[in-house]
């Protein structure tokens, strides 16, 4: 917003990987030269200036992916400004030096900022996308993942426990909330071709990867939706909802997932979640859900409840 305000004659594009973050950042009063987009990759256009803030607690492979993407899209003569909240950083500088001949450092008490100019095309681009295979019963399922997607390059152990507990009936409508790379959706759709599986995530790359995984396995009974609101397509029509909520944010995301499931399920529909911390669900699902069950499953717990 500050860049757009200071430079009213230029177009500023603010890119988000997650739609929830885009919604939080949307200004009350729109600026005519500021565009907020949520999609899998940076917009396909040449740019003069790329500004990338990173956290030292962020995902290393995603950071490398975004640096390379920004460097590729820069015009010759364009500049990349990359910042980290690690004032003693060396790693980010090394990543930038691999792509740019000269990187200028600006040190602050609480951050390190680097500026690099593009003088020639990027010679070699690394492909950060991954395809992996996992087993569901007797079936081998192919999946696609990218940096920033849960979980990249492998199936999450919690998702495995969710699949162990899930029983899919013919002709059911299944909702996968927070689908990530789509491993749960793909496995359930492969188990029962008459079922319709709808996968939802707020991460644009997760939706893309789920769609790619469905095509890779030849599954025509999987659909995917980018949605951070919790009000999903065909709300109130689903028989079964599954979720593997993340553990950060002090159960705020888990609460959103549960509310979305309640809105999406038919009366009598079943919710199935996997967690390492079942106490929160025991306290929050008892009032509005029936048939609450909490079952240990290896290092996890599977929580089951009926709408």
Instruction: Dump strand ranges (E) for 66-129.
Output: 74-84, 103-107, 112-117
Instruction: Name the residue among 213, 161, 158 with its Cα closest to residue 190.
Output: 213
pLDDT given at position 247: 81
pLDDT in tens, the chain (307 residues): 999 999 999 999 999 999 999 999 999 999 999 999 999 999 999 999 999 999 999 999 999 999 999 999 999 999 999 999 999 999 999 999 999 999 999 999 999 999 999 999 998 999 999 999 999 999 999 999 999 999 999 999 999 999 999 999 999 999 999 999 999 999 999 999 999 999 999 999 999 999 999 999 999 999 999 999 999 999 999 999 999 998 877 899 999 999 999 999 999 999 999 999 999 999 999 889 999 999 999 999 999 999 9
Compute the Cα dihedral for 27, 47, 205, 246 and give only its sign: negative
Q: In this structure, are strands 265-275 and 238-243 parallel, antiparallel, or unpaired?
A: parallel
Tell me which CATH homologous superfamily contains domain 2-117. Vaccinia Virus protein VP39 (3.40.50.150)
| Interatomic CA distance for residues 25 and 14, integer angstroms | 10
How many Å apart are CA 39 and CA 300, to the nearest integer?
A: 32
How many C-beta neighbours within 10 Å does residue 200 have? 28
Torsion 56-59-60-65 (CA) sign: negative
The total number of residues written for the chain in this structure:
307
Q: Is 262 helix (H, G, I), strand (E, B) or coil?
A: helix
Provide the whole-model pTM: 0.96
What pLDDT, on a 0 to 100 scale, did the predictor assign at position 249? 77
- Give residue limits of the domains in the chain: 2-117, 130-306
Contact partners, residue 88, CB within 8 Å, separation at least 6:
112
DSSP helix/strand/coil, 169: coil
Rounded distance, CA 274 to CA 161, Å? 7
How many helices (H) and strands (E) in the chain?
9, 15
pLDDT one-digit tens code per residue, 72-89: 999 999 999 999 999 999
- Res 4: pLDDT: 96
Whether the CB-CB separation of 174 and 196 falls below 8 Å is answered with: yes
pLDDT for 248 equals: 76
> Is it true that the peptide bond before 151 is cis, omega within 30 degrees of 0?
yes
User: Quick check: do 2-117 and 130-306 share a fold?
Assistant: yes
* CATH topology (fold) of 130-306: Rossmann fold (3.40.50)
């Amino acid at each position: 917003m500050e860049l757009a305000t200071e430079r009213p004659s230029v177009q500023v594009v603010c890119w988000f990987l997650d739609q929830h973050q885009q919604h939080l950042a949307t200004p009350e009063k729109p600026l005519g030269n500021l565009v907020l987009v949520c999609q899998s990759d940076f917009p396909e256009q040449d740019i003069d200036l790329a500004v990338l803030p990173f956290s030292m607690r962020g995902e290393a492979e995603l950071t490398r992916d975004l640096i390379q993407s920004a460097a590729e899209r820069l015009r010759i003569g364009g500049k990349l400004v990359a910042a980290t909240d690690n004032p003693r950083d060396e790693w980010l500088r090394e990543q930038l030096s691999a792509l740019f001949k000269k990187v200028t450092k600006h040190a602050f008490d609480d951050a390190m900022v680097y500026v690099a100019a593009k003088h020639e095309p990027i010679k070699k681009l690394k492909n950060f996308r991954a395809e992996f295979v996992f087993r569901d019963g007797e079936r081998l399922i192919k999946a696609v993942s990218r940096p920033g997607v849960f979980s990249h390059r492998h199936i999450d152990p919690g998702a495995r426990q969710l699949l162990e507990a899930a029983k899919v009936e013919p002709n059911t409508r299944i909702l996968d909330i927070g689908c990530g790379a789509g491993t749960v959706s793909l496995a359930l759709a492969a188990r029962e071709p008459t079922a319709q599986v709808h996968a939802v995530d707020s991460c644009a790359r997760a939706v893309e990867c789920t769609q790619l995984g469905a095509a890779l396995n030849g599954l025509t009974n999987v659909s995917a939706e980018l949605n951070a609101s919790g009000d999903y397509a065909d709300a109130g029509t689903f028989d079964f909802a599954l979720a593997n909520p993340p553990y950060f944010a002090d159960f705020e995301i888990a609460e959103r997932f549960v509310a979305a499931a309640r809105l999406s399920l038919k009366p009598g529909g079943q919710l199935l979640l996997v967690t390492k911390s079942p106490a929160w669900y025991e306290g929050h699902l008892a009032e509005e859900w029936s048939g609450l069950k909490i079952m240990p499953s290896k290092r996890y717990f599977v929580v089951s409840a009926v709408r």
